């Protein structure tokens, strides 16, 4: 077991941060590491916006449904898919191409790989944090507020800082490996049974973490969450800025 594996295998989200500011050198290393992630055809189809302005942090926290850590994290990075640069700089292209699903997939993947690199870099430097997708509750307002040009779209925040808690949160159990990892084809014949067992495991985890207040199974919790966060506006707004119309 090497240090990198240890770091990756012990991941849990952290939402309570010390007020300690993160110095410029550290931020530069985090961004540099993000940039070293693999990128489709070397497009680098993403942009990262550092959210320093206090008003903007408050706004994002509100949009995300009042997630206080968005206000409190000393380092908040907004990850966006970016096809604006492609449109403006790539030579001899038909910009109609940019509005297809393939390019949305490319930009979203590029941004996510970069973000995970940034997160791991930060963690290797003693920081902790959490991703926040809740800003997609109002992609139109986020776009306006950050002056995103057309073909740039907000995806999620990465909130970082030094953890306030001495004791690490217990790691949330993941799906049984056989459910998520198949061999040669999508064989789901044992999934029903495995997910039933996993449901009980998740229920125990929540009971333990919330002193009995929450006792949802995985399938219950995900169902509730899904129906609370339908976010039909994401598609509507993205299409209005010429994204994945085809």
Q: How far is the CB of 68 from a copy of itself (least distance, A)?
A: 18
Q: What distance in Å separates the CA atoms of residue 33 and residue 25, rounded to the nearest whole number?
A: 12
Choose which of 130, 142, 157, 159 interacts with a copy of itself (CB under 8 A).
130
Q: What distance in Å separates the CA atoms of residue 39 and residue 61, rounded to the nearest whole number?
A: 30
Of the candidate spans 15-23, 66-74, 109-117, 207-215, the one that interacts with a copy of itself by CB under 8 A turns out to be 109-117
The smaller minimum CB distance to a copy of itself, of residues 188 and 210, is found at 188
CB 142 within 8 A of CB 61: no
The smaller minimum CB distance to a copy of itself, of residues 167 and 180, is found at 180
The smaller minimum CB distance to a copy of itself, of residues 70 and 155, is found at 155
Of the candidate spans 16-24, 59-67, 111-119, 159-167, the one that interacts with a copy of itself by CB under 8 A turns out to be 111-119
DSSP letter at 160? Answer: E
Helix (H) or strand (E) holding 161, with range, is: strand 152-161
What six digits make up the tokens of 36?
């070293």
Show contacts with a copy of itself in window 205-244 (CB under 8 A): 217-227, 229-232, 234-236, 238, 244
CB 101 within 8 A of CB 238: no
Show contacts with a copy of itself in window 62-81 (CB under 8 A): none
Show contacts with a copy of itself in window 5-64 (CB under 8 A): 5, 7-11, 13, 28-29, 31-38, 40-44, 46-53, 56
The smaller minimum CB distance to a copy of itself, of residues 72 and 218, is found at 218
The smaller minimum CB distance to a copy of itself, of residues 44 and 62, is found at 44
Of the candidate spans 14-22, 60-68, 159-167, 178-186, the one that interacts with a copy of itself by CB under 8 A turns out to be 178-186
> Residue 147: left (phi > 0), alpha (psi -120 to 50), or beta?
left
**177 contributes a contact to a copy of itself by CB under 8 A:** yes
Q: Which residues pair with 165 in a beta bridge?
A: none
Q: Which residues pair with 161 in a beta bridge?
A: 128
DSSP string, 28-63: HHHHHHHHTS--GGG---EEEEE---HHHHHHHHHH
Choose which of 62, 71, 131, 201 interacts with a copy of itself (CB under 8 A).
131
């Amino acid at each position: 077991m090497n240090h990198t594996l240890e770091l990756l295998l012990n991941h849990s989200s952290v939402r309570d941060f010390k007020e300690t500011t993160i110095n410029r050198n550290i931020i530069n290393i985090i961004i540099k590491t993000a940039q070293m992630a693999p990128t489709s055809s070397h497009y680098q189809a993403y942009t990262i916006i550092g959210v320093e302005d206090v008003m903007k942090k408050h706004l994002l926290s509100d949009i995300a449904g009042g997630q206080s850590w968005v206000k409190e994290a000393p380092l908040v990075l907004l990850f966006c898919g970016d096809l604006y640069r492609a449109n403006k700089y790539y030579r001899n292209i038909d910009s109609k191409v940019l509005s297809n699903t393939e390019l949305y997939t490319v930009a979203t993947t590029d941004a996510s790989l970069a973000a995970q690199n940034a997160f791991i870099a930060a963690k290797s430097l003693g920081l902790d944090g959490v991703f926040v997708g809740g800003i997609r509750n109002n992609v139109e307002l986020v776009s306006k507020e950050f002056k995103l040009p057309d073909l740039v779209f907000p995806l999620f925040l990465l909130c970082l800082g030094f953890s306030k808690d001495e004791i690490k949160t217990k790691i949330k159990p993941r799906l049984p490996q056989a459910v998520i990892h198949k061999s040669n084809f999508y064989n789901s014949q044992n999934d029903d049974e495995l997910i039933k067992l996993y449901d009980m495991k998740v229920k125990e985890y929540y009971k333990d973490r919330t002193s009995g207040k929450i006792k949802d199974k995985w399938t219950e919790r995900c169902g509730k969450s899904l129906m609370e966060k339908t976010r039909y506006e994401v598609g509507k707004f993205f299409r209005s800025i010429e994204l994945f119309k085809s």
